[in-house]
Structure 1
Amino acid sequence: MPPPVYKLMTVNTVPERAKRIIGRIVEDVKDRWTIQYVVNAERIEEVLPTLERERPDIMFVASMWTPEEQQELVLIAEQTIPGIKTFKIPSGLQVEKGPDAIVDFIKENLPSILDSPAPKESL
């Protein structure tokens, strides 16, 4: 059986870095999941129209956002696409520990993100 396919969106003010980091992760987990990196939004204002246009299954929020901004971004995603899986990278992780720490952190948490059932839509 082929691995499940997930469409991934990132929210990162440095799109080249997001693409590079996600590329490393996609390669490392391809035996278990197929992750298609579809788009990045650089600004909070871009998130809603990007979500509506691309309809990703997962959204990663980068570490340059404050915890409050991250929460706002997750809320936008959950209100736009019920059941979307979201993942917030701890604020400041890139600055403090570098890109390898980001890759390791995402890979460590990916099973719980992707293998967990989607939240039930409230009626």
Structure 2
Amino acid sequence: MSSSSKSLINLVSVNTAPDRAKKVIGAVIENVKDRYNIVHAGNTTTIEGVKPLLKSIQPAPGILFCASMWTPEQQQEIQKIARDTIPGIKTHGIPTGLQVQVGPEGIVQYLMERIDEIMEQK
């Protein structure tokens, strides 16, 4: 259907509401399954948990999403930890407060509008 690579991509999230993360990311994965083979491989609820989570998943995660409850500074720290732990990992921080403004469906829509751009990160 598409010329995009369909190799398995492990995605991790950093979200203090793991059930919501699973639901939102599950909806995004379902919506892009014709283009990408993404699996939600894990979630951590703390910044301190980012590095151990990334190291515990094989094959190594290819994407990390930061949820919108983190401040911009926390998101930068989380994404730096991810890039230092797994060089080349794609990261994306959902704008702080967006979940409160638009709800889970709005987050799914936000990610759907950006997934190709996220996947093409270098």
Pair in the same fold by TM > 0.5: yes
Residue type of the alignment partner of 2:14: V
Structure 1 segment 36-115 matched on structure 2, within 5 A: 36-54=39-57, 55-115=60-120
Residue 44 of structure 1 aligns to a residue in which SS? coil
Root-mean-square deviation (CA), in Å?
1.2
Residue type of the alignment partner of 1:49: P
**Per-residue CA distance 1:92-119 (angstroms, 9 max, x = gap):** 0001111111001111100011133x3x
Tell me by how many angstroms 1:53 deviates. Answer: 1.2
Structure 1: unaligned runs, 5 residues or longer: 119-123
Tell me by how many angstroms 1:32 deviates. Answer: 0.5
The size of the alignment, in residue pairs, is 117
Structure 2: unaligned runs, 5 residues or longer: none
Tell me by how many angstroms 1:64 deviates. Answer: 0.3
Tell me by how many angstroms 1:6 deviates. Answer: 1.0
Residue type of the alignment partner of 2:8: V
Instruction: With the length of structure 2 as denominator, give the TM-score of the two structures.
Output: 0.91
Alpha-carbon separation, structure 1, partners of 2:120 and 2:35: 11
Instruction: With the length of structure 1 as denominator, give the TM-score of the two structures.
Output: 0.91
